[in-house]
Structure 1
Amino acid sequence: MSAANSAGGGPARRPDLAVPRLAGRARDLSLFGQALDGRSGLVAVAGEAGIGKTRLLHELLARRPESALVAVCPPFREPYTLGPVVDAVRRLAGSVAGLPLTGLAGALRPLFPEWAGQLPPAPEPLADDSAARHRLLRALAELVDALGVGLFVVEDAHWADETTLELLLFLRSRWEHGPRLVLTYRPEDVPARSLLRRMVAQAGTTRLEPAPLDPAATADLISSMLGGEPVSAEFAEFLHARTDGLPLAVEECVRLLYDRADLVHEDGTWLRREVAELDVPPGIREAVLERTSRLRPAAAGALAALAVLEGERSPGLVAEVAAMPAADVEQGLAEALSGGLLAEDRDGRVGFRHVLAARSVYHALGALERGRLHHRAGLALEREPVLRSAELARHFKEAADPGRWAVHARRAADDAIASGDPRTAFGLLLDLLVGGAVRGAAVAPVVQRMPLYAAPGDGPLRELVAVLRATAEGELTREERTAATWQLARLMFHVGDSEAAAAAMEQAVPGLVQDRPVAAVHAMMMLARPLGTPRPAAQHRAWLERAGRLFATCSGAPQERLSFLAERAATLLVLGDPAGWDAARDLPAGGDSPGEVFQRARGYANIGEAAMLWGRYDDARHLLDAAAALAEEHRHLRLRDLVAGTLAHLDWLTGRWAGLEPWAAAALESDEPVLRADALQIGGLLAAARGDHARMREQTRAAAATGRPRGPADGFRDPSAALARLALADDRPADALAATDAAWRLIEAKGLWLWAAEIAPLRVDALLRAGRAAEAAAAAESFGAGTRGLGAPTATAAGLLTAALLTRDRGEPAPAAALFDEAAAAWQALPRPYDALLAREAAADCRNTDGSALRALLPDLTALGATGDADRIRRRAGGRPGRPGYGDRLSPRELDVVRLLAQGRTSAQIARVLGLSPRTVDKHVQTAMRKRAAPSRTALAIAAVASGDIPAP
């Protein structure tokens, strides 16, 4: 059938297409409004691309009286910090003059340089990124309140930078006093470790998931584009089948049929041509590209420029980027607007109606054309009154203009650091170096300004190592080679290549002493740290003394002096030198500048961790608590969280297990690899104590692969001790020896026997079980001689335990039992109750009693949480079997409790339903939270539904 004629031979009427109305969404819109009226903590609209999330949102906003701040996250590879929010504020407010802002708002100057004259003075810089970020978020919240924002909306939140998501979390924490929060996102595109996952899983979130349209709603949408006249059921079902009811796909197909003149009007109903004659692309991209291919050159050129620019832009800017006359571009934009590809905002700017259309046009461009458009876009945006450095860096990177890329990437990184977003800064600068935009002598200064701790794992750091190694081997002056080698050594220490790092550091020291003495002191202190290399302790001590002599000649700020003295004290303690305690006590008092406060907190943390190596747990807790308090008070949040990880290990050692599982579950969501490694190891230790050895083995190995490499200097954080203990529990002495071989060789080479306190008893036990008694005795003698007179409680307890093991192996049960009792008392005095109980078990075994001594351990083991050990001892002692064990599965009673919990019932209500006491209900909840690693009751309900334990309420 000809498109010009109807089926009956009469003339066909070409439709006038309109923007479709919202079809099939009455229920979603009603629920959306109800959630906002009920002041839900957060309304999240989730769904795949093209499902209609944005349309639903805009329909709601048109009906709401509140002032809305709408931030749209662009699909940049490297999102710029808080960019969507900053752009939204700029659109909403022409200025901030006259707003009731406090001095806190001065922190907003880096984000809004054009308002510098209207904002309060900038506050003093903060030493900690997390503290700077928190201050900035509070200032933004104050500005949002002052602007009278009623709804805070973030579209395409799956592309949001982490700081924007942190702002949402901060606003949510005060939702009763601030704007209501709404976001749209695509679940399948949310990064695995994004804060967005945590946010939408919290209690108080209303989640809406618009479903695909059914055939009736599809017909309604099509009709709304065709003047409201009906469409045939056959036509609607045909398009529904081809598009799966995805609204954007339906609209694009209708517009494509319109462009092809494939729609006919007959007897008051819109029809299509015969199926055999009609081919509709199933994908949105294919439909968009076929439609754009039918546009005139002016419209196609304007669309290409807009696709490269992204977002809404003025016609003048589009013309400049397209390198076309303004009149031609305006005609082209009008054609694209009438065809429904573009939309126009109230300021006359134009942009694609959907990001999928923009991406389709962009990826259809050839590489050379894309590069030319990016270059023109960058040059045009450089002349804008407000520069967005991250966007400019992206354009010049794609345009292969390394000079301009480097300039703007550095500025963007500085902006990100000033905003407390070191991860984005790291990514921007890494791109520069790996992409070759910075070469030769310019590489080392870029690496020096990089926040290496913000690297997402070792992979990017190893890329940097390769860049720096190639740089250091290139043609450089002596000063330039020293700088490159110094940065290379620092990086290799970060990734655990300690021996190569030490060699590079020694190579850099002479030049640093000559050019940069303070940096030379830092290099010497890194060489003084006895980590990772088999070099004798005397060499590290020599570097420590040399660093002290050089530092005495340097004129440094008070914070640098405090940093050096605290690091010296911690290094002495890790070297097993009791002089470290005097050095720690002699740290200078006072000093309240931000730098001094940070260095004091960091020093307390490092000395506290060294105190754990010695087994001086009261001193360790005192120092770590002081570090945590300073970090919390002065908002050094990253340091606070790292100290919390160290305290978690101290809690494990000292038997404070009750809060460890919720802490570990929360820490696993952290972006900090060290924290995730700590959480994995703590979770594995708890699992082993409950008898789940497979999980312990899995999590310990995962911990070793997640954080920086751990060794015997890290004490109980060394995975070799945990793996050896597990191997011995499973009676696999060869595996225990393999687990401790590397650590033992390192300790022998360095002569630092304090480090062996965790593994010496395990290694001696493994050697004895393997029939290598002489080697076991030699190992015990080396350990004893190396720690004799040291005054380290862990070494004392471990020495008693090794002596007991050797005595038992010689067939002397009574003396062995006495030594095990002494070891138990020494462990308990630390206190390390778990180790004390295991030593008491060994003593009872030596005495070979009727089982009563073993059964006497059960209450303490159970109260501690070592239920796996309790079950093992109960079986050995021939006691009454316990109740059936469910491992990590929820018991029937726990399932009953969680099912009622998910229905929103309180403990008292659950107790009444099940005939239990509220206290018993709370115990079941705590046990279920531990099994599901849930930090809260709400998270438990969500996890139980997700795992299939209970049906969705």
Structure 2
Amino acid sequence: MSAAKSAGGPARRPDLVPRLAVPRLAGRDRDLALFEQALDGRPGLVVVAGEAGIGKTRLLHELLPRRPETALVAVCPPFREPYTLGPVVDAVRRLAGSVAGLPLTGLAGALRPLFPEWAEHLPPAPEPLPDDAAARHRLLRALAELVDALGVGLFVVEDAHWADETTLELLLLLRARWEHGPRLVLTYRPEDVRPRSPLRRLVAQAGVTRLEPAPLDTAGTADLVSSMLGGEPVSVEFAEFLRAHTDGLPLAIEESVRLLHDRADLVHEDGAWLRRDVAELDVPPGIREAVLERISRLRPAVGRALAALAVLEGERPPALVAEVAGAPPADVSAGLAEALAGGLLQEDREGRVSFRHVLAARSVYHDLGAAERGRLHRRAGRALEREPVLRAAELARHFREAGDPARWAAHARRAADDAIASGDPRTAFGLLLDLLVGGAVRGAAVAPVVQRMPLYAAPGDDPLRALVAVLRETAAGELGDEERTEATWQLARLMFHVGDPGNAAAAMERAVPGLVRDRPVAAVHAMMMLARPLGTTHPAARHRAWLERAGRLSRTCPGSPQERLSFLMDRAATLLVLGDPAGWAAARDLPDAGETPGELLQRARGFANLGEAAMLWGRYDEARRLLDAAAALAEEHRHLRLRDLVGGTLAHLDWLTGGWTGLGRWAATALDAGEPVLRADALLLTGQLDAARGRHREAAEKTRSAAATGRPRGPADGFRDPSAVLARLALAAGRPAEALAATDAAWRLVEAKGLWLWAAEIAPPRVRALLQEGRAGEAADAAGAFAAGTRGLDAPMATAARLLAEALLARDGGEPLAAAGLFEEAAAAWEVLPRPYDALLAREAAARCRLAAGPGGPAGAPAVGALREVFAGLTALGAAGDAERVRGALAEAGARVGGRAGRPGYGDRLSPRELDVVRLLVEGRTSAQIARVLGLSPRTVEKHVQAAMRKRGAPSRTALAVAAVESGDVPPAARRRPPPSSA
């Protein structure tokens, strides 16, 4: 290379302009070798990660022709709402023209919604399942069967960061059966993965081979440029110039060379490449600018073809591109040929064309004016409506961008139905929400759309609040009486969902008269929602009146057996939450019949609600029986979301009853779940475990996070109310005013409603906080109100809490021996439930009172003995922080116990903390994820990993995981409480 003429020099002859070739793979020999080695090794998952333009797809496409396996390649498009399993469905269609003759079982009938054109060759459709997660799981198993029947050896997903969640769940399923299925290969951009995407869990598993192509160095840049220029050498100066301006990104290097070529800044003369002086070269800083400048130099026909292809996205036949472009096919074909020759496009074996890189397509698309984009989307939608296989989500996208609300709404509704049939309610919710917020549906048509929306699949409260705004505007508009009733009813339901119970109740009451007149079954549902004493400050009598009114209406209005069972289940649970013992009789009188799918779902849901109500009363044996029944029904009939939610309640029950082993594992899985309720449960539980272990700051952070996650919790949630946990943490830190502030709102709500059973968790810490603030009179009043409000109830929880409050008052009143007796009575009451942790803390308080009454007296020795027993109990339970506090009390009394709590010598055995880390490591979690779950720093996690590797003689993290499983360090998960799924 040598200096050429300046820009103002003589014009260059056309025959001197170099012809550019598609670059060969440069600087990737090591990556390619590692890739092949990974695929030749044990079956598993190979991921290629890196930024856009780094060469992930090129590396993959270089490898695939060398492989003997049948490859199924799914390419995920950058749609705002990816359609359910679309990339996989398209890939299967490309691979197989038909499923005729394939060895498929009846399970494959579930594939009919995805492949309607193959219906005659697929088994009959199976019975529909009432649970979305179960339907999705069945569909995914059917897809896995189809993949096996097609003989797929490599299952490739490109740009997995854009994949819909159901596609990612299919990958998780295939990964779980890696010994029997195809090898998996993914390409993705780590920076574009959503925070809670299943992709994060997939790529973090053990046994994943990860390739991360690095930017090209100067030598690699020179090699790539030389391959575009006929193999002629490239100077180090020019290669370094390009590398510096493109950060070594292969796509940026290629686009820069092509732009220099289009500008005629490169010429060939006397057997050598010539260029201007490097200082005179102007290379755009980004790929977009380079692509757009190159396109501006092409003929207008090429630009029209590229614009149409950018709007269509993906691989398209030239005839379709011509129709969307609105240009003669011959002109478009010539334009596409020119773009192919210029390296902007690529062509597959079937003659379909596509952009070589999505960045080029996005550059062209975003450079279009709004009016031109709209016209092209309208043409694309109308052309695709004539295709033999319609993709409703894609059509909805085109007509949305075209500004055609009627067609947009029609296709979005169909796409939502397809998503729900595929077990993907989140996508369905997003499609319908887009309709409503975008104004495609207005007036009387709004409420029916909301009615069909799977509200439980909303990704947080913000989308629901947007729906509330739409419905509020609709209800205030021009509507008939029936339509206004329906809109108000839907508005009230949504406001309950988003935590606005006061306004929700008011709207619900406005809707009731119209519902009674037109839809009595819905009116019963509305009255039952008003009967639930949650969120509002209405007195209990008002809720009870709505409950009785719902009962009267239910006896006269027509309703299905499923609806009747739902009412009876809800009535029993509502009575118990209202503190009415009649709820127990109502629960005993529930019918045993009901075997339809809908009735079985109601039974499972009803048992779950009754189990939670039983926990509020402190009847833990009854609660476990009901919750186990709910979990068994949910598992048997594949109500997976309900099963997971019941699993969260059982985890809390295990915490209360002292079954702490395995809670950390359950919580770690729940934290990765997309269900906000499960995340809140996990945060609250891990916070309580941290508090018991003496990590109070971490406990407070997690408890506050739990309060901000999912729906708001209050005193009616009892054991799930974060305010009670925060109050206890504040008291442990010596901040009684903070404890009072934490319980103020809950206490006022209990007072307003007169539902004192709800105060069982908050009454003792509130009384203690008032006493520490010197407000003994208010403390006595609070304890008295709680005792009066729960008197006569056969509620073991209330009994234990009342005794504890009385003990606190006696201790503050200078009666240590009386207080000791009451603390011991409270401990015995806690044991009845059982709540061993609370019983141990009450026994500790009793022993301290006896020591305070006279350490040298006759009560001193038994008190020390009691503290020794408490120390042993807390240590066995895992409450190391509390045990350490008891050790201090024993030391003050002149007694000693061996070794410091929580720091024994373990020799070659793994310590409890090392076991916690290794168990999460076996699940495939990174150090950062383990640190987040356990409340440690990543550096501390690494120390535990290294210590465990040393003890097990493991040379790597993978070897440690294998050794942990083989040695039994990681026991099998308990069957009774399955970990939550990602559904």
Question: Of the candidates 249, 256, 259, which is equivalent to residue 256 of structure 1?
Answer: 259
Q: CA deviation at 1:395?
A: 1.0
Partner deviation per Cα, 1:210-257 (whole Å, 9 max, x = no partner): 111111111111111112222222222221121121111111111111
When residues 603 and 942 of structure 1 are mapped into structure 2, their CA distance, relative to the original with a 3 A threshold, is closer
Q: Select the residue among 648, 651, 661 that pairs with 1:648.
A: 651
Q: CA deviation at 1:882?
A: 8.2
Q: Is 2:887 the counterpart of 1:871?
A: no
Alignment gaps of 5+ in structure 2: 947-955, 957-983
Superimposed CA distance per residue, residues 538-575 of structure 1 (whole angstroms, 9 cap, x where no aligned partner): 11111111111211223322222221111111111111
- The alpha-carbon distance between structure 1 residues 885 and 24, as it changes in their structure 2 partners (threshold 3 A), is farther
Alignment match, 1:902? none
Q: Which amino acid aligns with 1:512?
A: L
Show the counterpart of 2:628.
Answer: 625
Which deviations, in whole Å up to 9, do the C-alpha atoms of 1:246-301 show, x marking residues without a partner?
11111111111111111123453424211232111121111111101101000000
Matched, 1:191 2:180: no
Aligned counterpart in structure 2 of residue 96 of structure 1, from 99, 104, 108 = 99
CA distance in 2, matches of 1:148, 1:438: 45
Give the corresponding residue for 1:166. Answer: 169
Q: Which one of 358, 369, 384 corresponds to residue 361 of structure 2?
A: 358
Shift of 1:590: 3.5
Instruction: Name the counterpart of 2:395.
Output: 392
For residues 170 and 936 of structure 1, do their structure 2 counterparts lie closer, same or farther at Cα, with a shift above 3 Å needed?
A: closer
Match of 1:829, as an amino acid?
V
Residues 232 and 271 of structure 1 are in contact (CA less than 8 Å); yes or no, is this contact kept in structure 2? Answer: no
Structure-1 residue corresponding to 2:375: 372
Stretch of structure 1 that moved more, 185-194 or 6-15: 6-15
1:529 aligns with 2:529: no
Supply the distance in 2 between the matched residues of 1:443 and 1:765 (Cα, whole angstroms).
52
Find the aligned partners of 2:897 and 2:888 in 1 and give their Cα distance. 7
2:764/2:804 contact within 8 Å kept: yes
Structure 1 residue 947 corresponds to structure 2 residue 938 = yes
Contact 1:12 1:266 in 2 (8 A): no
CA distance in 2, matches of 1:833, 1:213: 62
**1:592-644 deviation digits (Å, cap 9, x = unpaired):** 32212211111111111111101111111111111112212222111111111
**Distance in structure 2 (CA, Å) of the matches to 1:439 and 1:383:** 28
Which residue in the other structure is 2:950 paired with? none
Kindly report which structure 2 residues correspond to 1:530-549, keeping only aligned pairs within 5 A, or say none.
Answer: 530-549=533-552
| Kept after mapping to 2: 8 A contact 1:496/1:709 | yes
Structure 2 counterparts to residues 821-860 of structure 1, below 5 A: 821-848=824-851, 849=855, 851-860=864-873
Counterparts of 1:929 and 1:61, CA distance in 2: 36
Aligned with 1:791: secondary structure?
coil
Give 3-state SS (helix, strand or coil) of 1:184's partner. strand
Q: Which residue of 1 aligns with 2:975?
A: none
Deviation of 1:652 (Å): 1.0
Question: Counterparts of 1:632 and 1:512 in 2: how far apart (Å)?
Answer: 35
Equivalent runs, 1:710-749 vs 2, <5 Å: 710-749=713-752
Q: Distance in 2 between matches of 1:540 and 1:228?
A: 84
Query: Which amino acid is 1:397 matched to?
Result: R
Q: What is the rounded CA distance, in whole Å, between the counterparts of 2:564 and 2:927 in structure 1?
A: 48
Give the letter aligned to residue 297 of structure 2: R
* Cα distance in structure 1, aligned partners of 2:810 and 2:429: 56
Root-mean-square deviation (Å): 2.2
Matches within 5 A, 1:16-415: 16-266=19-269, 268-415=271-418
Aligned partner letter, 1:653:
L
2:469 equivalent in structure 1: 466
Structure 2 counterpart of 1:634, which letter?
A: H
Q: SS where residue 79 of structure 1 aligns? A: coil
Q: Which amino acid aligns with 2:466?
A: E
What amino acid sits opposite 1:921 in the alignment?
L
CA distance in 2 between partners of 1:540 and 1:838 (Å): 37
Of 503, 519, 522, the residue aligned with 2:522 is 519
Cα distance change of structure 1 residues 522 and 350 upon mapping to structure 2, 3 Å threshold: same
Alpha-carbon contact 2:77-2:313 (below 8 Å) kept: yes
Q: Which amino acid aligns with 1:665?
A: A
Secondary structure in structure 1 of the residue aligned to 2:717: helix
Q: 1:925 aligned to 914, 919, 924, which one?
A: 914
Letter of the 1:746 counterpart: L
Which amino acid in 1 is paired with 2:74?
A
Residue in structure 2 matched with residue 569 of structure 1 by the alignment: 572
Residues 1:482 and 2:485 are matched in the alignment: yes
Match of 2:38, as an amino acid? A
> What is the DSSP-based 3-state SS (H/G/I as helix, E as strand, rest coil) of the residue aligned with 2:820?
helix
CA contact (8 A) 2:611 2:624 kept: yes
- TM superposition shift of 1:937: 7.3
Q: Secondary structure at the match of 1:767?
A: helix
Q: How far off is 1:923 after superposition?
A: 3.9
How big is each residue's C-alpha offset from its partner over 1:680-716, in whole Å with a ceiling of 9 and x where there is no partner?
1111111111112211221111111111011111001
Give the Cα–Cα distance (whole angstroms) in 2 for the partners of residues 278 and 21 of structure 1: 24
- Contact 1:4–1:11 at 8 Å: present in 2 too? no
| Equivalent residues of 1:652, 1:682 under 8 A apart | yes
Unaligned segments of structure 1, at least 5 residues? 895-915
Partner of 1:856, secondary structure, is helix
The corresponding residue for 2:435 is 432
- Counterpart of 2:775 in structure 1 is 772
Amino acid of the structure 2 residue aligned with 1:80? Y
The AA in structure 1 aligned to 2:28 is R
Alpha-carbon separation, structure 1, partners of 2:519 and 2:348: 56
Deviations 1:731-754 (A, max 9, x none): 222111111111111111111111
| Paired residue type of 1:926 | L
Cα distance in 1 for residues equivalent to 2:350 and 2:911: 57
State how far apart, in whole Å, the 2-side matches of 1:827 and 1:892 are: 30
Contact 1:20 1:225 in 2 (8 A): yes
Of 560, 563, 575 in structure 1, the residue corresponding to residue 563 of structure 2 is 560
Report deviation, 1:940.
5.8
In structure 2, the partner of 1:681 is: 684
User: Alpha carbons of 1:872 and 1:934: their partners in 2 closer, same or farther (altered >3 Å)?
Assistant: farther
Q: Following TM superposition, by how much is the alpha carbon of 1:936 offset from its aligned partner in structure 2, in angstroms?
A: 3.7
> Is the Cα contact below 8 Å between 1:429 and 1:446 reproduced in 2?
yes
Identify the range of structure 1 (294-303 vs 758-767) with the bigger mean alpha-carbon deviation.
758-767
C-alpha displacement at 1:325, in angstroms? 0.7
Give the count of matched residue pairs: 924
Task: Please state if 1:817 is matched with 2:808.
Answer: no
CA contact (8 A) 2:48 2:186 kept: yes
> Which position in structure 2 is the counterpart of 1:600?
603
Identify which range, 260-269 or 801-810, moves more after superposition: 260-269
2:697 pairs, out of 677, 694, 702, with 694
Instruction: Specify the code of the residue in structure 1 equivalent to 2:193.
Output: V
Deviates more, 1:586-595 or 1:574-583: 586-595
Contact 1:4–1:12 at 8 Å: present in 2 too? Answer: no
Deviations 1:358-383 (A, max 9, x none): 01111111111111111111111111
- TM-score, with structure 2 as normaliser: 0.91
1:783 aligns with 2:759: no
Distance 2:88 2:71 in 1: 12
The amino acid of 2:200's aligned partner reads R
d(CA) in 2 for partners of 1:378 and 1:9?
Answer: 46
Alpha carbons of structure 1 residues 525 and 268: separation in structure 2 relative to 1, 3 Å? same
Cα distance in 2 for residues equivalent to 1:240 and 1:164? 37
TM-score, normalization by structure 1: 0.94
Alignment partner of 1:117: what SS?
helix
Tell me which amino acid in the other structure corresponds to 1:871. E
C-alpha spacing 1:581/1:7, structure 2 compared with 1 (3 Å): same
